Amino acid sequence: MTFFTELGRYLLMIKGMFSKPENMKVYWKEFMHQCNDIGIGSLGIVVIISVFMGAVSAVQTAYQLVSPVIPKSTIAQIVRDTVILEFAPTLVCIVLAGVVGSKIASELGNMRVSEQIDALEIMGINTKAYLIMPKVAAALVVIPMLVVISGVLGIWGGRLAGVASGILSAAEYDKGLLSSFFAYNVFFALTKAYTFAFIISTIPAYYGYYVKGGALEIGRSSTKSVVVSCVLILFADYILAALLL
């Protein structure tokens, strides 16, 4: 299948998502269920990654900044900005592409292969709307939240590591954090988060929904969806940086 037919089918899938729900209550329940799955399900890994990435960037920045002219508080500034601008949105979303993306793709793939999607279709339910829409909506709500949490934890991890390894004092770190802070960076990080959330939910949904064959193909399409989402995230990351910074 050529690139353009795939793209066309993807866009039609997105369009098909926006139809009137047959029953709002069932959709709402499914939405909450997905929020729980995506949000709570990946909270643990997000916490671990965030704390460590903050800690590592504090220690490595200190290692690179050897000049005595630069004040120690600059380390905090650099950690803050790299975490907010790049690490929290991009790194976390790449990991989520693996965690959430493969889950979405294999769930839908399994439903397709075992005819559960056909069964829903026969009942007179718009399967694109019922199966994909709640997942995308949940991702759009929950993933930016995870990114915010990750940013906070990353900065806190940097402070912890900085103080623990004796690089700088807590007071110096806090001073650095407060100097020359641009609220725009947070806006930028959230823009990224929303974009990536859309990618993380729709690309695996596409690969899962249109899978053909059996269990082997489910695995294959789930791997493929993760790879494609990661590449698209990095690509979008670059485009957004070029456009908005």
Partner 1 sequence: MYLFCLQIIYWLHYYYNNKQVAGSSTAIKQPLRRTLQPLVVCAAVKSIHQLVLMIEVKNIIKGFGDKIVINDVTATMQTGKCNLIIGTSGSGKTVLMKCLVGLFEPDKGEIVYSGHSFTAMGEEERKELRQQIGMLFQGSALFDSMTVEQNVMFPLDMFTKWSFAEKLKRVNEVLDRVNLKDANKKFPAEISGGMKKRVGIARAIVLNPKYLFCDEPNSGLDPQTSLVIDKLIKEITTEYNITTVVNTHDMNSVMEIGDNILYMYQGQKEWEGTNQEIIFSKNDRLNSFIFASEFLQDAKDMRMLEMKGKIDNNRNMDDLIK
The DSSP line for the chain is: --HHHHHHHHHHHHHHH-S--S-HHHHHHHHHHHHIIIIIHHHHHHHHHHHHHHHHHHHHHHHH---TTS-THHHHHHHHHHIIIIIIIIIHHHHHIIIIIHHHHHHHHHHHHTTHHHHHHHTT--HIIIIIHHHHHHHHHHHHHHHHHHHHHHHHHHHHHHHHTTSS-HHHHHHHHHTT--HHHHHHHHHHHHHHHHHHHHHHHHHHHT--SSHHHHHHHHHHHHHHHHHHHHHHHHHHHHHH-
User: Interface residues for partner 1 in 47-66 (CB under 8 A)?
Assistant: none
Regarding 115 and contact with partner 1 (CB under 8 A), the answer is yes
Identity of the residue, 122 or 183, whose beta carbon is nearer to partner 1 in the bound complex: 122
Stretch that binds partner 1, among 22-30, 187-195, 204-212, 215-223 (CB under 8 A): 22-30
- Quote the least distance from Cβ 125 to partner 1, whole Å: 6
* Interface with partner 1 (CB under 8 A), residue from 7, 12, 15, 22: 22
Regarding 118 and contact with partner 1 (CB under 8 A), the answer is yes
Regarding 212 and contact with partner 1 (CB under 8 A), the answer is no
CB within 8 A of 97, min separation 6: which ones? 196, 199, 200, 204, 226, 229, 230, 233
Stretch that binds partner 1, among 6-14, 53-61, 123-131, 158-166 (CB under 8 A): 123-131
Identity of the residue, 25 or 245, whose beta carbon is nearer to partner 1 in the bound complex: 25
Give the residue among 95, 114, 138 at the shortest CA–CA distance from 218.
114
Stretch that binds partner 1, among 6-14, 91-99, 119-127, 206-214 (CB under 8 A): 119-127
- Quote the least distance from Cβ 22 to partner 1, whole Å: 5
Regarding 124 and contact with partner 1 (CB under 8 A), the answer is yes
Regarding 110 and contact with partner 1 (CB under 8 A), the answer is yes
Identity of the residue, 90 or 106, whose beta carbon is nearer to partner 1 in the bound complex: 106
Regarding 165 and contact with partner 1 (CB under 8 A), the answer is no
- Quote the least distance from Cβ 35 to partner 1, whole Å: 15
- Interface residues with partner 1 (CB under 8 A)? 22-23, 25-26, 110-111, 114-116, 118-119, 121-126
